[in-house]
A and B are shown apart, each in its own frame.
Chain A
């Protein structure tokens, strides 16, 4: 049977059999439509990308206040558009390895303190100039400067010295960091001519598409850059276009109506409806993003570990994944790392809903009265519902939770990272070190659980300098267990990215790092004839 299907799917890819006929014959052979479609996609990939045409995306996360300066990127549209026109020093491959881009090779000294990037020959900027090691140095310098307000400033501050010498860039760090190559894959670090010091928002880099349209908050477009250095791998369509559609219903309608070929952020509650539409394929995959309930470990009553443990045990994780994510996600285990990260240990015992044990810890904590939980719609989709579900599961353990709904406007400045117990979300980072350094170091600005533990800080810094992966993995396991058992983080669920593509979109590869194939969907996909 599979031989015949293989044969048929190749015929479709060659254009000798129509898609509809193929699906009909496949069904006759007793194959489900989903499986038949995936066979087709595979065959199309094997047949090679179709060049030419225009491919469009309708995305949420663009505002009329967006700028082309990569240092200021924050939301999804600048992120995805940046991947179209920008070229990175290194990138993460869909498999989680490092993929060399402008840096051809990366090497380090034995103590992980001095790093050498060998810059690739013959990569061209859109303005015709060649990318030099000096441009890379200038880019890194600009993002290390406080005045650039760069989103990557947090890690770039760890650079002590930058130097271009011959074809190489030499980076000397203040502290050893085995993760530096991963940090360089941060989406803000787009290489610009002279690092963008002359004109930060000129929108010139060495990516697969040249900017042809830039109307912030409305639409962005690009034309294929003829001299792109790896044009065989990316940049199949002649033109790409991103239309900003912040309204979820309008986004879905645009996909259905064929005005766009792909959309991001399909809401879990409508996934099942959209799945049934002809031509539409849901592209969901797990990622590092997670929804959290966070308690400040240094503020009463949450400064008592028994109370925190009671609150963790009173969380019904399965129910959260089921009802809030509609199954598009996985249960969390109260530490912010999952299999999307390198060096993840999957043998840490899964915490489950246990009202009796929760009641035991609650009694032991000596806390009396209600626990005030603040929440808002903007914390994560379904946050208010999640808070109410939690209130009920806590009630089963005899813990009284009062849910206070806060206005969405100002939630991130007035409630999150300020109030002792609230709901929130994290998009995740590319390495464990980044995640722990951003939110669990005593000195981190975004330490939103007020997890102040000198011993833990030492572990983070030690793991950062460790080049032996086995030892490092063990260290990360120990850190995860500490956060899980003693931290203020209640992490019920990791959410999937849910994108959707329309008729004829081929070349999709799941990428666990960010939505839309880590932002590359428009450059890596093509439209089947």
Chain B
């Protein structure tokens, strides 16, 4: 690895950190404009002016906004996410288990969907415009076009209710045997796979087809390589950058965008946790989860950027 590439990577990471800071300001500002304040939502119906004033003082809500922002940011940088207002539990501890569950589900959905999408994309290119291509594209687009809750209910109806192959509710817990856990997440992982499949598959297909127009592909064909070899050795490496981009985008979706799937399958992940706390106006939790989601998004985007740079000699050796 040459030094310009290290410099590029360092630049990206610095930019990411800066972006994350900007996001933290936005999150903080956003939670400030939610209607009603925390003290009010904690006390609810029984709020009297005195108890409100006491609680506001206790929670430090009387400080100016920028002071509260820096206190909050300082806490996060030292690993202290604060305590949830509604239950008094330490946020970092309760998020830990939830985040792990979310990552577990996302990981297995990705393990299935990414290779599947890319190989289907390659296949579609190989038999482009034929019935194989049309079938793959049609099915993938159909599965993406259905809303995820519909696919979820459909799978539950057939696999959980009719044939009783998999459980319809995916409650997982600490100390659950690995196989039982895999069985529990089978249906939500399948839904997620179906939802993200088409996007990645279509992008793979488009990116490779784009490259297939190039002169060197024709050369490769003329020197007698088989169609699959042409795609594998010449087209795919040159199309990898946009593919990495779309894969990362979908990975991010698998982590931060699964609230609906979590609700349908009663999966104890981050999405459900966030929704519960938004409803309770539990601002510290909302801020913490928001920041984690933003961090995931930004990190995956940096990875995509770096991946694209590493895969592309023109970006690796800028003039």
Contact = CB atoms under 8 A, between A and B. Distances in A.
B173 A247 contact: no
B276 A63 contact: yes
A446 interface: yes
Q: Which of B35, B40, B171 has the most CB of A within 10 A?
A: B171
A414 B40 CA distance: 12
Interface string B77-116: 0000000101110000010000000000000000000000
Question: Which of B46, B153, B265, B266 has most A Cβ within 10 Å?
Answer: B266
A219 B168 CA distance: 15
Contact of A66 (B45, B87, B167, B272): B87
Residue from B40, B84, B157, B161 having most chain A Cβ neighbours under 10 A? B161
B120 interface: no
Q: How many residues of B sit at the interface, in one of the four size bands?
A: 35 or more
B220 interface: no
B62 interface: no
A257 B164 CA distance: 6
Contact of B279 (A67, A409, A445, A446): A409
A149 B276 contact: no
B169 A259 contact: yes
B264 interface: yes
A410 to B, nearest CB: 6
Contact of B266 (A63, A213, A245, A258): A245
Given A213-B173, A254-B169, A257-B168, A243 B266 contact: yes
A461 B45 CA distance: 24
A414 B94 contact: no
Contacts of A219: 171, 173
A250 interface: yes
B177 interface: no
B282 A65 contact: yes
A393 to B, nearest CB: 32
Given A66-B87, A244-B266, A253-B156, A259 B277 contact: no
A254 B168 contact: yes
The DSSP consensus for interface residues of chain A is loop
Given A149-B46, A413-B36, A215 B169 contact: no
B46 A445 contact: yes
Contacts of A257: 156, 160-161, 164, 167-168
B87 to A, nearest CB: 5
A314 B41 CA distance: 37
Given A67-B87, A254-B168, A247 B273 contact: no
Interface string A440-451: 000001100000
B31 to A, nearest CB: 14
B263 A217 contact: no
A414 B35 contact: yes
B93 to A, nearest CB: 12
Interface string A192-203: 000000000000
Nearest to B41: A413
Given A65-B86, A257-B160, A250 B167 contact: no
A327 interface: no
Interface in A118-174: 149, 153
Q: In which size bucket is the chain A interface?
A: 20 to 34
B280 A65 contact: yes
B242 interface: no
Interface centre among A65, A253, A446 (most CB of B within 10 A): A65
A445 B45 CA distance: 8
A256 interface: yes
Given A218-B268, A445-B45, A249 B171 contact: no
* Max chain B C-beta neighbours (<10 A), residue from A66, A243, A245: A245
B276 A410 contact: no
A253 B272 contact: no
B170 to A, nearest CB: 10
A213 B273 CA distance: 18
Contacts of A254: 168-169, 266
Given A217-B276, A218-B171, A247 B46 contact: no
Contact of A64 (B164, B167, B264, B277): B277
Nearest to A241: B171
Given A217-B268, A249-B264, A445-B45, A259 B173 contact: no
Interface string B141-158: 000000000000100110
Contacts of A243: 169, 171, 266
Interface of B: 35-36, 40-41, 43-46, 84, 86-88, 94, 153, 156-157, 160-161, 164, 167-169, 171, 173, 263-266, 268, 272-273, 276-277, 279-280, 282
8 contacts: A65-B86, A217-B272, A218-B171, A245-B169, A250-B266, A254-B168, A259-B167, A409-B279
Interface of A: 58, 63-67, 149, 153, 213, 215-219, 243-247, 249-250, 253-254, 256-260, 409-410, 413-414, 445-446
Given A243-B266, A256-B160, 8 more contacts: A63-B280, A64-B87, A217-B276, A218-B266, A218-B268, A243-B171, A250-B264, A409-B279
4 shortest A-B CB distances, which residue pairs? Answer: A65-B86, A253-B168, A218-B268, A63-B276
